[in-house]
Structure 1
Amino acid sequence: MTPDQVKLVQQSFAKVVPISDQAAVIFYDRLFEIAPAVKPMFTGDMAVQRGKLMTMLGAVVKGLSNIESILPAASALAIRHVSYGAKAEHYPVVGAALLWTLEKGLGDGWTPEVADAWTAAYTTLSGYMISEAYGRPEAAE
């Protein structure tokens, strides 16, 4: 990711924070719509899960300026997701749901540059997490 892309992700996420509860609902609704098979992995309180999602996204977005600082947490999260039943092929679906949610939430603020920046961020992190969890970054392709 370029420094400009990091800045775009951080600036656009700042606009999502005020609607974070709504954004999380939209995200999970979309995820379960496009990948209904993953819904059984979410057995707990979805309000808690939505809060965890937004907290994690906030930490990742903040850490993009120093990506090495978030890699240990990303590795631990990836390994934990395996125990929940997550597979490498789920990562692109989650990414699609996330980008769709951001597009809806940001409206006119979802420019091609912002879309490219978020795509780069998600691709970078998901590739790392897949590698950590499954040992092969190409597994999601």
Structure 2
Amino acid sequence: MDSKKKNAGELGLKFFLRTFESAPSPKKPFSFLKDSDVPLEQDPNLKPHAVISLLWATMSTLELKDFTEEQEALVVKSWSAMKKNASELGLKFFLKIFEIAPSAQKLFSFLRDSTVPVEQNPKLKPHAMSVFIMTCESAVQLRKAGKVTVRESSLKKLGATHFKYGVVDEHFEVTKFALLETIKEAVPEMWSPEMKEAWGQAYDQLVAAIKTEMKPTS
């Protein structure tokens, strides 16, 4: 961790440049990049932002906070409102991921050689719904279970699958952004900074658990 802190400026900038190289459209959420007329790596606002993001991501992985009763209530309330539309929201969630990072489609075997538009692929909607439900229910159960639990799967299997298909930190970050945006749009009247923090923290804990199992199967 100390070496990462020392090199946080370069590592953070490298992390963001890799993200933008593989998926240029993630620049859209950053207001300071939209109208910039200098090369990306020379933008004076990018490096400080990248440093903060890298340190935050590293610390959140190493020192995951306790999931509070208040956070649980926010997650449970919003999931109860979303659950009936899980199929549509799951698809929306995945389409947001692919909009931000089109190259992520290559991670899914059923999309690689598909000849139909991605939103019409018959295998995408059930897969997206399954992942969305798993992610949300993991968040709902987090405090009472005292650990990350996943539906109809195991962390070991999830970790091995993510390892096999070459999932990297940038993919997790894009997915987090897409998840939070999907939830925000699904329950706009409930959305708040506190709810964003609750869902973000639950997602970070799920990712941390998956990462511990990201190794080849024996």
Is the TM-score greater than 0.5?
Answer: yes
Match of 1:139 in 2: none
Q: CA RMSD in A?
A: 2.1
1:88 touches 1:130 (CA, 8 Å); kept in 2?
A: no
Deviation at 1:69, TM superposition (A): 6.1
Deviation at 1:6, TM superposition (A): 1.7
Q: Which amino acid in 2 is paired with 1:20?
A: A
Match of 2:107 in 1: 41
Q: Which amino acid in 1 is paired with 2:104?
A: V
Q: Which amino acid in 1 is paired with 2:76?
A: Q
For 1:108 and 1:36, the matched residues in 2 are separated by: 30
Moved runs in structure 1, 4+ residues, more than 6 A?
A: none
Deviation at 1:9, TM superposition (A): 1.0
For 1:88 and 1:79, the matched residues in 2 are separated by: 15
Partner secondary structure for residue 80 of structure 2? helix
For 1:81 and 1:67, the matched residues in 2 are separated by: 24
Name the count of aligned residue pairs: 134
Match of 2:163 in 1: 82
Task: Sort the Cα spacing of 1:76 and 1:63 in 2 relative to 1 into closer, same or farther, 3 A.
Answer: farther
For 1:29 and 1:107, the matched residues in 2 are separated by: 19
Q: Which amino acid in 2 is paired with 1:119?
A: G
Q: Which amino acid in 1 is paired with 2:103?
A: A
1:63 touches 1:70 (CA, 8 Å); kept in 2?
A: yes
Q: Which amino acid in 2 is paired with 1:12?
A: S
For 1:35 and 1:18, the matched residues in 2 are separated by: 27
Task: Sort the Cα spacing of 1:69 and 1:86 in 2 relative to 1 into closer, same or farther, 3 A.
Answer: closer
Q: How does 1:3-42 map to 2 (within 5 A)?
A: 3-42=69-108
Of the three residues 46, 49, 68, the one matched with 2:147 is: 68
Of the three residues 129, 132, 138, the one matched with 1:54 is: 132
Of the three residues 116, 123, 131, the one matched with 2:204 is: 123
**Structure 2 length normalisation: TM-score?**
0.55
- Structure with more relative contact order (C-alpha pairs < 8 Å, separation 6 or more): 1
* Unmatched segments (≥5 aa) in structure 2: 1-66, 111-122
2:138 touches 2:148 (CA, 8 Å); kept in 1?
A: no
1:13 touches 1:61 (CA, 8 Å); kept in 2?
A: no
Of the three residues 184, 203, 207, the one matched with 1:103 is: 184
2:176 touches 2:203 (CA, 8 Å); kept in 1?
A: yes
1:78 touches 1:129 (CA, 8 Å); kept in 2?
A: yes
**Structure 1 length normalisation: TM-score?**
0.82
Structure whose CA Rg is larger: 2
